[in-house]
Amino acid sequence: MLALRGFWSRHRRRILISLGVLGSGYLVYKLYESHSRRLSELERQLDGARRVDELIKNQLQAHFENIQRISDTTTLPYAMHYLRSRILEDLDLSHLTEKLMQGKGQSNALSGKEKLELWDRLKILSFTRTAASLWSMTVLCLYVRVQVNILGRQLYLEIARGSENSLSLDEIDSFSRHGQQDFLATADYLATYGINSLIMNMQNAAMEVLKDKQLKEPFSMLQLRETMIQILEMFMNTSESNYWIHYLVPDNVNDYKQQMAMSAKGFDDSSILMDATKLEQLLFETHAVLSSPDFGNVLEISLKKVVNILIEDIGIHVGGTSSIGIPLVKLLPQITRLSLPLLDEPSSNKFVQAIRSLSEVELFYTLLYANMPSAS
């Protein structure tokens, strides 16, 4: 016992230090073990969050592509077909050409004044029909792309809000599907409600630009291009700034929904009230985009691109060049004829493809998706 006490007395300091070191090492080990467990758990959680995030991104991309597919294969083709039928119906020139043919075959059928009036009428309506087709096709093509980007942006925001409220993509989708369909359906608004005013104002613009253009006056392809551009510019500036948006976007959502309900059998009135607020928000954003200077710039570039292609086609068919003039009366059949391919089915429409391939258009939609204006 005395020996043990002596040993303790002699080595107490070393023993205490050793025990302290051992105790500290054990504590450090336990802390390390606990920290390692927390890190492993955190890594598992982060890995799970990454997988969920990747899944949501894939679902979002699939949904966005589905909206794009519906737009490309259904919305735009149907709207273009309906627009074509309305323009051909409202700007049917066959009665004028038939009267002129009768007058040509029967010398006494028409007086000189009547012939001149018919030719002048044909001149105005030929340019009106082609300019209306050109403008409508261009703005409708751009409008549908705006719709797709707005819906894609809206879906992204809904998913972000839904993740905070633990809502699944399917639940979010069920909330917005009907509103998306109603919104895409507004692509028909131009052909259904805006076309009459559009044609009237386009005709007034054509009359003003062409009032001093004589039928026997030689027209070069450059002059023809400038004339078409002048008609479009005068049409765009007929009234207050961006007045033409009213041809595309309903002013009053509730009135529009009621009109749609009256034209659709078995439509549930309760769904009209339920979706009006959502549709109103989407149309508010659409109006903000269409009235922006950036969209105005893209529309102008697209219109001039289509005019250039159109004039090239006319030049090929009549054998004209930028310097050699051709009597305007000989150009009218080609001007009228090319109003038809302007409104061809989008997948085979070279004018639509030309608009989509413009770098300015692609850049605009890229920036639009990233910087969508919001409703206040």
Write down the pLDDT at residue 274.
45
- Averaged pLDDT for residues 188-212: 94
* Tens-place pLDDT, residues 341-350: 999 999 999 9
Question: Quick check: 372 and 153 in contact, CB under 8 A?
Answer: yes
Write down the pLDDT at residue 41.
72
Q: Which residue has the tokens 């009428």?
A: 121
* Tens-place pLDDT, residues 18-63: 545 555 555 555 555 666 677 677 777 666 656 656 655 666 666 6
Answer yes or no: is pLDDT of 373 > 50: no
Distance of CA 104 to the CA centre of its chain: 47
- Averaged pLDDT for residues 136-147: 94
Question: Quick check: 299 and 139 in contact, CB under 8 A?
Answer: yes
Q: Is 6 domain-assigned? A: no
Q: Is 180 domain-assigned? A: yes
Q: Is 25 domain-assigned? A: no
Q: Is 339 domain-assigned? A: yes
319: left (phi over 0), alpha (psi -120 to 50) or beta: left
For the record, the structure tokens of 237 come out as 């500036």
Q: Is 134 domain-assigned? A: yes
User: What is the extent of the structural domain holding 323?
Assistant: 43-370
For the record, the structure tokens of 250 come out as 């309903």
Domain count within the chain: 1
- Which regions of the chain does DSSP assign to beta strands (E)? 218-219, 326-327
* Tens-place pLDDT, residues 224-270: 999 999 999 999 988 778 899 999 998 888 778 777 766 655 444 54
Q: Is 22 domain-assigned? A: no
Q: Is 264 domain-assigned? A: yes
Question: Quick check: 278 and 176 in contact, CB under 8 A?
Answer: yes
Write down the pLDDT at residue 105.
62
Q: Is 359 domain-assigned? A: yes
Is pTM beyond 0.85 here? no
